């Protein structure tokens, strides 16, 4: 199935944080007046934020973002919100992900970025064991490397989502057809209208016109493995035509905005051509706060059933560009 098939097996085996090589005087803390570190391992995270490697993750979604992030949203007192359902965003997630504040402290004024040493990798050894035990394909479990996300929220630079291991953003649609309830090989439909239904984050308040194809005269067939994203249209049911609904009916499905590692690294040229996408700007000796959230995006097509048994490792590395603030 997929992300709404909540799992007790998806875990982060190892999580570390550090700064790139040859950077001195830069540290990470978890409270403004707490201890600051140059390197952070799982033991420190367990002590500082209660991180438990055995605690299960389960897929959630950053959809319905407009409910909490608006032009009037203030940084202080705001936490990025995730949801556990793909329907109307009415179920806020309170577990199954990591969310905590980071405080950066520098000995010189400068911008903080992600470093090229950042890595999100499937734990292939653990996934091989799980695959054998559950009679799954190891390659499917290893897809966890592509559907993980990290978001950063700061007062100056707002909200950014980092999508690991992709050359360009996936621009994941946060809505569409699903084989969800029940998970039976067919896209869900309304029995009264004999039409497929749409899930997720879209402009439902605008009451867009949904277009459908003719009712199926027989069950359609799908290629590959049945997942919530890949299913058939049941005989007698009109298939939802998302493309026509968008072009003619005014349907607008929210699209995930993410950035690749290259886009979140310090810009080439030492800031002479712009500062790129920093996480935060630090003045020497003054800790600066960033809210970090680590999760698995349920609408990502790589979030297939096997991912619920995956294990993965994360190494988040930061770097700095020491220079006067120019933006």
Tokens of 87: 């329907």
Report the pLDDT value the prediction gives residue 316, as an integer from 0 to 100: 96
**Every domain of the chain and the residues it spans:** 11-165+257-322, 175-253
Q: What pLDDT shows up at residue 227? A: 86
At 133, give phi and psi (nearest 5°): -65, -40
The confidence score (pLDDT) of residue 89 equals: 62
Averaging pLDDT over each range in 1-10, 76-85, 179-188, 203-212, which range is the top one? 203-212
How many C-beta atoms surround the C-beta of residue 296 within 10 A?
26
Q: How confident is the model at residue 135 (pLDDT cuts 50, 70, 90)?
A: confident
The model's pTM is: 0.93
- Please state whether beta strands 110-114 and 240-241 pair in parallel, antiparallel, or not at all (unpaired): unpaired
If one compares 195 and 311, the residue with the highest pLDDT of the two is: 195
Token reading at 51: 């991180």
Task: Tell me what the pLDDT averaged over the chain comes to.
Answer: 91
Position with higher pLDDT, 147 vs 305: 147
| 14 vs 313: CA distance, rounded Å | 5
Q: What is the 3-state secondary structure (H, E, C) of 27-53?
A: EEECCCCCCEECEECHHHHHHHHCCCC
Name residue 127's beta-bridge partners.
none
- Is the Cβ–Cβ distance between 210 and 240 less than 8 Å? yes
pLDDT tens-digit series, residues 89-124: 678 999 889 999 999 999 999 999 999 999 999 999
Find the largest Cα–Cα distance for the chain: 70
pLDDT for 272-309, tens place per residue? 778 999 999 999 999 999 999 999 999 998 887 778 78
């Amino acid at each position: 199935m997929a992300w709404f098939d909540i799992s007790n097996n998806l875990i982060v085996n190892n999580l570390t944080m550090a700064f790139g090589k040859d950077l001195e005087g830069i540290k990470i803390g978890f409270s403004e007046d707490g201890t600051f570190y140059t390197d952070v391992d799982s033991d420190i995270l367990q002590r500082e934020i209660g991180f438990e490697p055995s605690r299960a993750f389960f897929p959630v979604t950053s959809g319905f973002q407009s409910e909490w992030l608006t032009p009037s949203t203030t940084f202080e007192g705001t936490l990025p919100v995730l949801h556990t359902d793909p329907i109307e965003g009415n179920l806020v997630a309170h577990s199954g992900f990591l969310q905590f504040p980071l405080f950066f402290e520098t000995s010189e004024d400068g911008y903080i970025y992600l470093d090229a040493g950042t890595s999100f990798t499937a734990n292939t050894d653990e996934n091989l064991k799980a695959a054998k035990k559950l009679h799954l394909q190891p390659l499917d479990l290893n897809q966890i490397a592509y559907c993980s996300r990290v978001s950063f929220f700061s007062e100056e630079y707002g909200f950014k989502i980092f999508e690991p291991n992709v050359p360009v953003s996936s621009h994941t649609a946060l809505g569409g057809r699903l084989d969800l309830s029940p998970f039976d090989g067919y896209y869900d439909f309304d029995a009264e209208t004999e039409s497929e239904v749409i899930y997720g984050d879209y402009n439902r308040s605008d009451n867009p016109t949904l277009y459908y194809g003719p009712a199926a005269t027989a069950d359609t067939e799908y290629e590959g493995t049945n997942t919530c994203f890949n299913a058939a249209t049941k005989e007698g049911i009109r298939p939802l035509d998302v493309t026509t609904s968008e072009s003619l009916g005014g349907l607008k499905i929210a699209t995930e905005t993410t950035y690749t590692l290259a886009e979140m690294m310090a810009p080439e040229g030492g800031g002479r051509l712009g500062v790129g996408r920093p996480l935060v700007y630090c003045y020497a000796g003054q800790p600066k706060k960033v809210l970090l959230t680590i999760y698995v995006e349920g609408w990502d097509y790589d979030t297939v059933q096997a991912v619920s048994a995956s294990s993965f490792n994360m190494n988040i590395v930061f770097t700095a560009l020491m220079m006067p603030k120019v933006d």
